[in-house]
Amino acid sequence: MTEEEPEEVPAKQMKLSPTKADEENDDVECLGEVTGSEGQNNENQLTPAKREALTDFMAITNAEESAALSILEGAEWDVNKSLNFYFGTGEEHSGDEEAKGDNAASESTKSSYHQNGPVDLTGLEVSLVSWNIDGLDGNSLATRMKAVYKVVSNLNPDFVFLQEVVGRELPTIERLSKLYDIYYSNKDYLYFTAILVSKIFEVDSHYVIHYQNSGMGRTLQIIEGRIGEQQVFLLNTHLESMKEHSRARKEQFQLCMDRIREIIAANPNCLLFFGGDLNIRDDEISNIPRGLADAWLAAGADKQTQFTWDTRKNDNKQAFGARTRFDRIFWYGPLSQVKFSLAGQQRIRSCLCFPSDHWAVHCEFS
């Protein structure tokens, strides 16, 4: 864990509890929640849930089977508790328990807006994570993607924007389908983006714009849907990389701004989220539509959370101390407050690396 790592903010969820799908989600959120407290030393005698927990724990930590069994048994087969113990982050456990209590309260408060509509936005809270998961780097890829799965599951945001997803590790990403409906940009390409939406979010349309000036297969992925009667637009993108492609990147960014401007003009009361790995520099940003706000700036521009690609803290890539704010989230609409934090900052012990060379951006809007 980095010395300057900010405290993670508990996720604010809009999950509904009384559905069958959400009952199934419990196993995924805990990565194999147990049904009993007695451990089994013989792997052949493990229940399917315990066997899955053992497999997940060993894959992420690369621990010996005997050690993994001992730790899991001591944590009553809760993989999240076991991982926190293994990585030496026991203090996060109490925060997780508090978050569960807060989430339970927020779920009961929010269940009515979806069922009764039209939406009363008073008290509405929406959480979003955006993360370039660096699927193009083959180093420890399977282990890193399992860590990505763990981080996203723990945060459990309402929406997730992913960039640099690769087909090789889709089975791990697809495990999140118990929590989310997943939409991909172009799975036939070497790498692509994905938008994950809460099971209660009603999707009306999904489409992809391919940037005609991209030499890297980059796209803008758009979902239109509803929270009750509240219209919501989700725009996830991965803009052209590297400094020498500034012109193409600025053109792509302006295409995004033009599309957002069109959406707002046609739907002035909508709620809109735009973000991803923009690879953008401050001097490349211009012509932002009125009312579209940068989440990091709106949250107070905390220097501790400024750099989402930071090779001074994250050594997955060697870039001579370069650090930038490549990953950004913008939003438009009736929600006026935002909490901004970074996630994915814990090093994986087995491979001595982080889940990605980018930190995940986690925003909570209210």
Which conformational region is residue 353 in: left (phi greater than 0), alpha (psi within -120 to 50 degrees), or beta? Answer: beta
Query: Does residue 221 contact residue 185 with C-beta atoms inside 8 Å?
Result: yes
Strand runs labelled E in 147-296: 159-165, 180-184, 192-198, 202-210, 219-227, 230-238, 271-277, 293-294
* Interacting residues of 317 by C-beta distance below 8 A, sequence separation 6+: 137, 311, 357
Amino acid at 16: L
State the Cα–Cα distance between residues 35 and 126, nearest whole angstrom. 31
Phi, then psi, of 33 in degrees rounded to 5 = -65, 145
State the Cα–Cα distance between residues 207 and 230, nearest whole angstrom. 20
**Catalytic annotation on 277?**
yes
Phi, then psi, of 352 in degrees rounded to 5 = 55, 40
Candidates 233, 234, 24, 18; CA nearest to 112 is: 18
Strand runs labelled E in 211-261: 219-227, 230-238
Strand runs labelled E in 53-179: 126-132, 159-165
Query: Does residue 98 contact residue 10 with C-beta atoms inside 8 Å?
Result: yes
Rounded to the nearest 10°, the torsion over CA 96, 127, 56, 184 is: 180
Q: Which of 22, 134, 181, 277 is catalytic?
A: 277
Which tokens sit at 152?
């996203």
* Interacting residues of 290 by C-beta distance below 8 A, sequence separation 6+: none
State the Cα–Cα distance between residues 336 and 210, nearest whole angstrom. 31
Annotated catalytic residues are: 277
